[in-house]
Every structure is written in structure tokens, then in C-alpha cells.
């Protein structure tokens, strides 16, 4: 996130929420949004489903999934044509505005209305509200990124934020709400194929030398594979071994039948996890991780806030802290530099090698409670919001982006569009939450939401408790919920249940840049089971 979560409650005057079911997927952030709304802030929600936050928003419109670029181009067309853009900010702090203006001129409200299925007057309402109320914060999550155009979607929302001068100010910004616990911290620490910790590129020679000297080893000279590239490579025999740590691709990854094929054809599979997940059941070796309550260290949340985790009890049974398991495995394999005596010693190495974390020490976290990176020195207070005064590259760059349809759209054989997501009561693949009797009682089984008009057309009634949903990749049976909260032509399935996994159906086509799968758009059919 460019900004801080508390700003939503105190500073933000307009929320533009797209691709985010905020109150279910990020309920504590949702509370902050509602407190801001109670203070007088406007809330705009665009989503294929009328979620709770959509029902309570000041402005809500259901858009067609996969049309985010067209939508944002259309909003920018209105903002520029009516002179509502922040001319001073654009002149002083950005470049390539003219190129952006030329492209969005082609995205008239009438054209965008036909693409997105939002009325023209609705586009004007959204554009004028966002552009005239400042500071305005854009909130998005996986509904923006989990597309073959996810990279384009993110650049588009950044274009919109800069166009209206909502960058580098408290209460504004472009704010991705991260999907998993400590996913921000994992990325910060180099859990990406193209960077060392602190997003230092592996291809830069001086960065390579720094880490070679620190680790007494040769650094990578080329960019590696993403997780979505590793599994297919394993299925093709190009990768012989996989070490899967804290991940459950048998439920989380798209095209589950192909995932199983890939894992079963992996010569040697190691899984490190707290539970014997669906993926761990396929492993040759399972390493037992300690839980959060048995772990010492730090985590970094979605607004770059680093906080301490303190061990409450010693690990139970044969489980060990994750860092210790990794270090012991590395030493057993003959690697050097894995003799850390504690989690604090690891943080001290992070301080030395990661400029944005240089000033974030255990001592300061104990005294202050948290620090937000970038925090380059021990006398730096941390950074509540980014891009104050200037962008990291100097001038912010506008990227003119053409709209592209999703890879797979409905057709006569598969006439409906499937989108997936989360619900309040379960987290990710359910490996933790589905072991809670109270949470499982709240949401015990998978279901599909279908619009009442679509149900009638398919001959389904409310007595049809079970339906079969099929795509080109597989089929599942699950409960049916006939509702008007979802737009016609679209069905929605939460992905938490392994026994009726939505990702059996989803498309494993990847964004060409990020390699993120297209979880949010694929063609399906629904029949009575």
C-alpha cells in the first residue's frame, strides 16, 4: 500500500473500491472505511456482486468481470474532458500525460458502457465523485490482479490516482490489500524470482556482488521461475524436485486436475506446513512447521508495517520454527551462512543488506510497537505514506493501456462467466479455518451463487439444492444459491473447500508479466446435479 490503514479513518474523503470484497476479505480495513464514511467520506464500490460493502456504499455499480481497464479508461476520459484532472500535479510530478489523453479519448462513456455494462450516467457519477473529492484512496485486491491483464489493471489504477493528484498525500494513494498473512513481508524478503530482499534486482551487477560478498556464494545471474511456472515445469519433467513451504496448491492453484498431475509427476516433493494439507498428502517428505504462537520474529502487514511476533510456547512435538527448519536443511546440504542463533540475528542481517529495512531493529520495534518501511536508518521515523514530494523514479509515468478481453469468455457450450473469491468465515484454502468447529459451522460447504434469471433459464429452482458446475478443465458438485446480488450471466464460487474446489474450474492462463493466473474469469455451465 502507498498509504496507511489508519488514514482511512481520519483523512480519506473518498474511497474508490474495485476488485475488493473489503468487509469479508479484510474486515478490519472495512471497519476503517465505514468509520471514514460515518465521518462524511464517500464510498464508491464497483463489483460484479453486491457485497456487503457494495450495499452500504454511497455509489455501487455491478461491472462485467475482466473489464477494469476499459472502465478506468472511460472514467479518465470523463475526468479529462470535464477538466477535473489535477493539472498542477500532472505538470510538476508526471510525464506522458499527452499519450494517456490520446488513448483514453477513444474510450467514450458510451463505448465503455457497452463493454462494462454500467450505465453512462453511472460512469459520470463515479468519475465526478472520485475527481472532485480529495484526498481519495483507491482500494483494490485480487479482483484486480488475478487476470491475464492484471499488470495492466494495476497500471490503470495508478494512472487514475496520478491523474487526480491523489498520490503522495495522507488519505490518498493506490492501496492493494494483500491477500495472505505476511505476503507483504515474504515479497519484501525476496520471495520473488527476480529480486533479492528489498526488491533489489538480481540482474544488477553491484547488487549481485553485495550479496555474493555477504553470503560467500555466487548470486543468481538470471531471473528464475514463478510458482505458477514451476508446477507445469515439474509436470513436464523439467524440474525434478519441489520444496513447497506454507502453500497448498492442490486447492489454491487454478486447474486443480493439472496441478495434481504435475505434483504426482514430480520426482521428489517436500512440503513444509503446519497441517497435513491436500498438497502435503502427496509429499515424499513432510516437515512439521511451528505455528505463529510457537515462533519468534517479525511480520509485515499490507501497509508496510513491521511488527514483532513473540513466542508464547515452545514448539509442540517434532515441529520447529520455519527459519530453523530451513537453516538445518541448508546446513545438512553443505551450505554456508545458515548458522543463525536466533530470529533476531536474521533481522540484523536484513538490516545490513536491505536498505528499506535498515532502521527497523528489534530494539526499536520493542520501544515503538511498529515501523513502516522505507526506514533507512535508526534515526528515521518510518514512512506512513509513499511518494511525498516525488516518486522513486523521479516523475510518475502515465502508461496508456488498451483494453483486452479475458482469455476465455462464455460461449454456447459454456454460457456463464465464473468469478471466484473469499468469504468472511474461511481463510484461503481452509487448512486452518476449517479446523475450527465454530467457523465450519458458519460455512460448512461450498456453494455457487447464480442470478435468479439465469437459474430460470437453466430450469433450476430453489428446490435444486445441488448443481454441477463444469468448465473445460473439470467439474464439481456443490450447493446452489439463487440470488439477485450477482449480475446476470455471472456465477460466483468461494474457493475454500477442497471437496468442491472452485479451482478445478478456473483457467491457468497467466498474465504475461506477473505470471498470475486468471482466477476471476472463465467460462462455465451449470446444471442440476
pLDDT tens, position by position, 451-463: 999 999 988 877 6
Q: Cβ(373)–Cβ(231) under 8 Å?
A: no
Q: What is the CATH architecture of 5-177?
A: 3-Layer(aba) Sandwich (3.40)
What is the C-alpha separation between 260 and 243, in angstroms, rounded?
15
Burial string for 41-54 (b: 16+ CB within 10 Å, else e) reads bbbbbbbbbbbbbb
Q: What topology is assigned to 416-528 in CATH?
A: Barwin-like endoglucanases (2.40.40)
What is the C-alpha separation between 524 and 507, in angstroms, rounded?
11
**Which pTM does this prediction carry?**
0.93
Closest CA to 31 of 11, 50, 9, 47: 9
- CA geometry: angle 279, 281, 283, nearest 5 deg: 80
- Assess whether pLDDT exceeds 70 at residue 82: yes
pLDDT tens, position by position, 223-252: 889 999 999 999 999 999 999 998 999 999
Contacts of 393 by beta carbon, 8 Å cutoff, 6+ apart: none
What's the DSSP call for residue 267?
Answer: S
Alpha helical stretches, state H, 66-179: 68-81, 87-93, 97-104, 109-116, 120-132, 142-145, 150-163
Q: Cβ(469)–Cβ(418) under 8 Å?
A: yes
Q: Which pLDDT score, from 0 to 100, does residue 461 have?
A: 78
pLDDT tens, position by position, 368-390: 999 999 999 999 999 999 999 99
Q: Cβ(185)–Cβ(216) under 8 Å?
A: no
pLDDT tens, position by position, 482-529: 999 999 999 999 999 999 999 999 999 999 999 999 999 999 999 988
Q: Cβ(404)–Cβ(70) under 8 Å?
A: no
Q: Cβ(273)–Cβ(265) under 8 Å?
A: no
- Assess whether pLDDT exceeds 90 at residue 43: yes
Q: Which pLDDT score, from 0 to 100, does residue 179 have?
A: 76
Residue showing cell 538490516: 351
Q: Which pLDDT score, from 0 to 100, does residue 241 have?
A: 96
Q: Which pLDDT score, from 0 to 100, does residue 529 have?
A: 83
Tell me which CATH code domain 183-224+289-372 carries: 3.40.50.740
Q: Which pLDDT score, from 0 to 100, does residue 220 have?
A: 61
Q: Which pLDDT score, from 0 to 100, does residue 428 have?
A: 87
pLDDT above 90 covers a percentage of the chain that reads 90
Q: What is the DSSP string of 371-393?
A: EES---STT----SSS-SSSBTT
Mean of pLDDT values over 192-207: 92
Residue showing cell 472495512: 30
Q: Which pLDDT score, from 0 to 100, does residue 217 have?
A: 79
- Assess whether pLDDT exceeds 80 at residue 219: no
Domain boundaries, the chain: 5-177, 183-224+289-372, 226-273, 416-528
Closest CA to 53 of 32, 15, 22: 22
- Assess whether pLDDT exceeds 80 at residue 218: no
What is the C-alpha separation between 400 and 158, in angstroms, rounded?
11
Cα dihedral sign for 491, 20, 201, 182?
negative
What is the C-alpha separation between 354 and 306, in angstroms, rounded?
14
Amino acid at each position: 500500500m502507498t498509504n496507511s490503514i489508519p488514514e482511512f479513518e481520519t483523512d480519506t474523503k473518498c474511497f474508490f473500491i474495485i476488485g475488493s470484497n473489503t468487509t469479508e476479505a479484510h474486515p478490519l480495513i472495512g471497519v476503517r472505511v465505514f468509520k471514514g464514511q460515518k465521518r462524511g467520506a464517500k464510498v464508491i464500490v464497483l463489483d460484479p456482486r453486491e457485497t456487503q460493502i457494495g450495499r452500504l456504499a454511497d455509489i455501487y455499480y455491478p461491472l462485467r468481470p475482466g473489464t477494469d481497464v476499459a472502465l478506468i479508461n472511460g472514467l479518465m476520459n470523463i475526468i479529462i474532458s470535464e477538466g477535473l484532472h489535477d493539472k498542477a500535479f500532472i505538470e510538476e510530478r508526471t510525464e506522458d500525460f499527452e499519450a494517456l489523453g490520446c488513448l483514453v479519448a477513444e474510450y467514450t462513456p458510451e463505448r465503455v458502457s457497452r463493454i462494462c455494462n454500467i450505465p453512462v450516467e453511472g460512469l459520470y457519477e463515479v468519475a465526478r465523485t472520485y475527481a472532485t473529492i480529495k484526498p481519495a484512496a483507491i482500494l483494490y485486491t485480487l479482483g484486480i490482479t488475478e487476470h491475464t491483464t492484471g499488470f495492466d489493471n494495476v497500471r490503470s489504477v495508478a494512472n487514475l490516482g496520478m491523474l487526480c493528484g491523489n498520490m503522495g498525500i495522507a488519505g490518498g494513494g493506490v492501496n492493494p490489500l494483500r491477500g495472505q498473512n505476511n505476503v507483504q513481508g515474504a515479497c519484501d524478503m525476496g520471495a520473488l524470482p527476480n529480486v533479492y530482499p528489498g526488491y533489489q534486482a538480481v540482474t544488477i551487477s553491484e547488487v549481485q556482488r553485495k550479496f555474493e560478498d555477504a553470503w560467500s556464494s555466487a548470486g543468481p545471474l538470471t531471473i528464475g521461475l514463478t510458482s505458477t511456472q514451476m508446477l507445469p515445469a515439474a509436470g513436464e519433467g523439467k524440474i525434478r524436485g519441489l520444496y513447497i513451504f506454507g502453500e497448498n496448491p492442490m486447492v489454491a492453484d487454478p486447474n486443480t486436475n493439472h496441478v495434481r498431475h504435475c505434483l504426482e509427476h514430480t520426482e521428489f516433493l517436500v512440503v513444509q506446513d503446519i497441517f497435513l494439507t491436500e498438497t502435503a498428502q502427496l509429499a515424499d517428505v513432510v516437515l512439521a512447521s511451528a505455528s505463529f504462537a510457537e515462533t519468534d520474529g517479525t511480520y509485515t502487514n499490507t501497509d508496510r508495517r513491521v511488527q514483532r511476533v513473540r513466542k508464547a510456547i515452545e514448539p509442540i512435538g517434532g515441529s520447529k520454527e520455519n527459519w530453523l527448519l530451513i537453516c538445518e536443511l541448508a546446513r545438512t546440504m553443505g551450505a554456508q551462512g545458515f548458522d543463525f542463533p536466533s530470529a533476531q540475528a536474521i533481522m540484523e542481517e536484513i538490516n545490513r543488506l536491505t536498505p528499506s529495512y535498515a532502521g527497523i531493529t528489534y530494539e526499536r520495534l520493542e520501544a515503538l510497537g511498529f515501523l513502516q518501511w522505507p526506514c533507512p536508518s535508526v534515526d528515521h521515523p518510518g514512512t506512513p505514506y509513499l511518494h511525498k514530494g516525488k516518486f522513486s523514479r523521479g516523475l510518475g509515468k502515465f502508461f496508456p493501456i488498451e483494453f483486452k478481453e479475458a482469455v476465455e469468455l462464455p460461449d454456447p457450450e459454456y454460457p456463464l462467466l465464473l468469478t471466484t473469491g473469499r468469504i468472511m468465515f474461511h481463510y484461503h484454502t481452509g487448512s486452518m479455518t476449517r479446523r475450527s468447529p465454530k467457523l465450519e459451522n458458519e460455512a460448512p460447504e461450498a456453494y455457487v451463487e447464480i442470478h435468479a434469471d439465469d437459474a430460470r433459464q437453466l430450469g433450476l429452482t430453489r428446490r435444486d439444492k445441488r448443481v454441477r458446475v463444469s468448465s473445460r478443465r473439470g467439474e464439481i458438485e456443490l450447493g446452489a444459491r439463487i440470488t439477485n446480488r450477482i449480475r446476470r450471466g455471472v456465477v460466483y464460487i468461494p474457493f475454500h473447500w477442497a471437496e468442491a474446489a472452485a479451482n478445478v474450474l478456473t483457467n491457468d492462463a497467466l498474465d504475461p508479466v506477473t505470471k498470475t493466473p486468471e482466477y476471476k474469469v472463465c467460462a462455465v455451465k451449470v446444471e442440476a446435479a
